[in-house]
Amino acid sequence: MPTPPTSTKTSLGQRLSAHAHTRWPALARVELRFRGQFAYLTGHLHDGEVLPLCRLRYGGSARTWGFAIYRASHDDYQDSILPTGHTAGSPEEALDCACGLYLNDPTAWKAETPTN
């Protein structure tokens, strides 16, 4: 089980913060915790509420991470499928999927349609 190098941890935090800032204005910030091959994402709302969102699993690539959604009903993480139908994807896809659920925005799961 590979663990992400420090450079990957740093870039992951920067990528997710930038994405959250532009796509999820309800979030004041995104916090990352690392444990072994896992990165745990927590959203902080402007009113101080804290939302566990998801867990990413590092598999050796900074571009593709395994995805597990946080299940508030069980206070755990469950390996899940992203809206793309894959169990792994970009960290931004994982953040969008989790925020779509916990911030009640189903547009996060709709594929963008090309404009002609």
Q: How confident is the model at residue 111 (pLDDT cuts 50, 70, 90)?
A: low
Asked whether the beta carbons of 51 and 43 are under 8 A apart, the reply is yes
**pTM for the structure as a whole:** 0.91
Strand pairing of 65-71 and 76-79?
antiparallel
List, for residues 32-77, the tens digit of each pLDDT value: 999 999 999 999 999 999 999 999 999 999 999 999 999 999 999 9
pLDDT at position 106: 84
In order, the DSSP letters of the chain are -----HHHHHHHHHHHHHHHHHH-TTEEEEEEEEETTEEEEEEEETTS-EEEEEEEEE-S-SS-EEEEEEETTTTEEEE---TTS-SEE-HHHHHHHHHHHHTT-GGGGSPPPPP-
